[in-house]
Amino acid sequence: MAWTGARSLNSLVPSRSRPAGKAEPAGGTEPAGGAEGARAAEPASRARPGSPRRPLLRAVGRALAMVCAFVLMVAFSVVLARLTLEPSPASESLTHSNLRPGNSLRAYVEQPVARDAVKQMGGNLLLGVPFGVLVPVLAPRARGIGRVLLLTAFVMLLVELAQGAVVTGRAFDIDDVILNTTGALAGYLLLGRRLGRAVHARR
């Protein structure tokens, strides 16, 4: 049987053509390793995780800030106790309790010497400032302005009650509580709010 010209020896060899619908990739064959080789070629910096030192440094800085705030609060408490809870027998006959807001403030303003008024009102304002500055750092849950003011008013109310009840030459004065709380408000708005956000930054 004779072979025709149309049928050559190559026609007997099975064809290695790709199945229908599967096109040859442009530029020749796939790179060695396929997708894994492509991933290996990516920059190493993309696969490198973030440095674990940052959370550690933040935690250490937060702890140091809280320790410093605690030490300052203890020192302030000692000063507050010496200024408000030490007996003053010489002024026992001059002191009287004040339960009506504004009475002592009016008396301070009406004093003939302005320096005495500034001393009385300014001193009570300054006594409240550390609360507004240090409480947001020491107590993250008390960072809000309302909680800071309530805590300051509560502590100062206890101090005034102790003055009126057990300390000789001291008396309870509601206006002192108002001035102390106002000082805490000023400290919070000027510095305490920023310090609290910096130390206890939300993630």
One digit per residue, pLDDT tens: the chain, 203 residues? 444 444 444 544 455 554 555 555 455 454 445 555 445 445 544 545 555 677 888 888 888 988 999 999 999 999 988 888 888 877 777 788 889 999 999 988 888 888 888 888 999 999 999 999 999 999 877 778 999 999 999 999 999 999 888 888 888 999 999 999 999 999 999 999 999 888 887 65
Domain-wise residue ranges, the chain: 53-88+95-199
* DSSP notation for 14-30: PP-PPPTT-PPPTTSSP
Q: What is the pLDDT of residue 89?
A: 79
Q: What is the pLDDT of residue 3?
A: 46
Q: What is the pLDDT of residue 159?
A: 92
Q: What is the pLDDT of residue 48?
A: 52
pTM: 0.69
